[in-house]
Amino acid sequence: GATRITGTSNAPGKLTIGVLLPVPGTWELFLQAKLGGQIVTVPYTLSAV
């Protein structure tokens, strides 16, 4: 199955993300946002059991 990611923001500076992964393990996620006209990429490591 495919990985599915959704996100919401209810307050400035706060982002809540839900991730549905097909198998357990260590996953590297990359969040991209456009700030001031430039795309910024932030890496994040997630351990799913």
pLDDT recorded at residue 43: 94
Residue range 24-43, pLDDT digits in tens? 999 998 888 888 999 999 99
Residue range 5-21, pLDDT digits in tens? 777 788 888 878 888 88
Q: Where are the beta strands (DSSP E) in the chain?
A: 4-11, 14-20, 25-35, 38-48
Question: Measured between alpha carbons, how far is 40 from 19 in angstroms, rounded to an integer?
Answer: 20
Contacts of 10 (CB under 8 A, 6+ apart): 16
Whether the CB-CB separation of 3 and 29 falls below 8 Å is answered with no
Instruction: Map tokens 């357990």 to a residue.
Output: 24
pLDDT recorded at residue 20: 85
Instruction: Map tokens 């910024």 to a residue.
Output: 40
pTM: 0.58
pLDDT recorded at residue 4: 73
